[in-house]
Structures are given as C-alpha cells and as structure tokens.
Structure 1
C-alpha cells in the first residue's frame, strides 16, 4: 500500500483526526508574508482544514490532494472543488503568491522532493512563499502504512542549497499538536522565491 492508498482507505478517520487541529499560529505566520487576498495553493490539503482558514481570510485558494477520497471530503468541508492531483503533476507557471504544504511533502523521497521543489518554484510568482513541514528526525522509510522522510535543520539546508531560487526565510521546530503525539517534533520551513 502506498501513501495515497492509505489515505483513500482511511480518509474518514484521517479527516476526523485532523480537521479540528489548531494551526492558527503557523497559518498566521505564513499569512504575514502574503499580499492581502493573494492566491494560495494548499498542496496536499488533506481534510481541507487549512484551505478553509485561508478562504475565510479572503485568499483565492486552490486546494489539491492525491487522495480521491480526501478530495471529496475536503470539497464538502471547504465548499469548493478540490483538485485530485499528485505532486509530480504540478504544472502551474507563476500562479500563486503562496504554497502551503503542511505535513504533505514528507511522503516523498528526498530525490522526489528535489523535482517537486522545482515544480513548486515554477508555480510561485516572483517573491512568492512556500511553507512546508516534516517530522523532525533522520528516519526514511515506511511506518504506519505510509512512506515518510524526516529531516533535521542541516538536511533541509542542504536540500535547499540546490534550489538557488528559493531562499530560507525561517526554520523552526515545534511539538505535535495532538496530545497523544506530543513527544513528536516537526520541522517547519518558510522559503521565498527570488524576484521582486
């Protein structure tokens, strides 16, 4: 079973477990860099929780997810269509002021991530922002039915060094918002595309 199969199979459970998590602190930090009423891509939107937050803040939101089942649930939740696309299908050219990839790109290998970051950069307007989050650590492989690649600060710095058009604005570590997983840590990154 790959990660998308997992999310299709457990879509309802995943939706219920994540739709009410409070990501406001992270979301507001990201929003502070964006133009008012700008365009945002929620890359791997899951339940649609963060898409709805952006919509309610007046942003023009495009939500996408690789799981067909999650797309259906998220579409109902946010009141608009959700694109059923995988990361490697990204094919936008300078469309978005911000791309939000919360706990989604962690299901790609480091090699795949490089290619996706290229597509993300193409999708961003000059000066556009990308937020992404990964589990903090050095594990790569399958756990709980899904592939994960974890990173530490220096790992992410090395990866982004190969993407000269993406500048790190901030990296910070947080604990998991779910009480039963508070021992887990997350690496959060905001980068800006060159331009402007």
Structure 2
C-alpha cells in the first residue's frame, strides 16, 4: 500500500521534498563524522539527503523501496541508488553512519524491532545513526500510506532491545516543509 502511494505520486513527492532545507538536522548528524565517511541513506526518497552528503564530501550508498523514486534519485544524485527494502540490508559493520529520515515511519510497528536490528548490525562500532518519526504513539493509515508514530517512550523501548545501540539525544521539531504543520521526533543514536 505505502510503496504504491510513492509509485503513483513520485513526481509530486520528489518536487515537494527535494528542495527542503535540512541543514539544521545535518549538523547534528555529521558533527562527529570524519571526512569521506560512508553513510547509508536508508529510504532515500528523492535523494535530497544523499546529494547533500555527497556535496559535503561523504561517501554515500542509498536505497528506496519505490522504483519510481529510485529512478529520480539516481538522476538527481548521480550515483546508483538501489531498489531495496530495509530488510534487504545484510551488511555487517559496514557504515560509519546511517540516515533514516522519515523512512522508518512506514515500517509496521510489529516489524520495527527486526528492521532496526538489521540496520544496527550494518553500523560500525562508534557509528552514528539518525532516525525520525512523526510524533505520536500509534499505528495509523492516511492517504494510502501506513505510519508508525513514535514518541520518546516508544523509541526508548525499541532501542533498549538493540545490542550496543544507545540514544545520544532526541528532539522534537516542526516539519521543515512550509506547507506542513506536523511534529517530528528526531533521534541521534550511536553504536558502542
């Protein structure tokens, strides 16, 4: 259902997200990364963040579940963006950082523990992990997409089940898109 939404609305989604200024969040994510660090952009959508990280001098691998968005992200970023799901990630300790901006929120709540564990295994010790969810405490459907909303308590519970992953800090932000009035839970995590 959710993937089909992005297949059917890829142009609108691309245009609505590709130019959103995320620099306020990039700062928190990149401040401890070394130049050239390998970042996984998991659920990259338009490729906006992949391109930003490439422009900052990082190495980036990216994937998305929508072939229509993969096509647009390939063209926009100039790198090969893969068509994949979160559970296709099978690397072990490969990435210095993982970026999950507004992507994990489409994973059903019952599948989140397995998904987070696969991503945690792909992160190197000392690695940084960013994730964001719409702020809340329920599973819901809206406009052809499913959402798992997360608050601080739900995030703490999810992360407590991961080996060697700790939350560094969380913050609530307003949506960076001017036409939206939504709150987001942002989190920076680290692998010990």
Smaller-chain TM-score bracket: over 0.9
Where in structure 2 are the equivalents of 1:8-23 lying within 5 Å?
Answer: 8-23=7-22
Superposed CA deviations along residues 158-185 of structure 1, whole A, max 9, x for unmatched, are 1111114110011000011122212x10
Matching of residue 187 in structure 1 with residue 185 in structure 2:
yes
- Matches of 1:146 and 1:59, distance apart in 2: 32
* Cα RMSD after superposing both structures: 0.9
2:88 maps to which residue?
89
Deviation at 1:88, TM superposition (A): 1.1
1:102 maps to which residue?
101
Aligned residues: 192
Superposed CA deviations along residues 38-82 of structure 1, whole A, max 9, x for unmatched, are 000000000000000000011110011010010000000001110
Where in structure 2 are the equivalents of 1:20-169 lying within 5 Å?
Answer: 20-169=19-168
Runs of 5+ in structure 2 lacking a partner? none
CA contact (8 A) 2:89 2:118 kept: yes
- Matches of 2:178 and 2:107, distance apart in 1: 26
- SS of residue in 2 equivalent to 1:92: coil
Deviation at 1:110, TM superposition (A): 2.1
- Matches of 1:84 and 1:167, distance apart in 2: 29
- SS of residue in 2 equivalent to 1:180: coil
Q: TM-score, normalised by structure 1?
A: 0.95
Runs of 5+ in structure 1 lacking a partner? none
Over 2 Å off, 4+ runs: none
- Matches of 2:173 and 2:131, distance apart in 1: 13
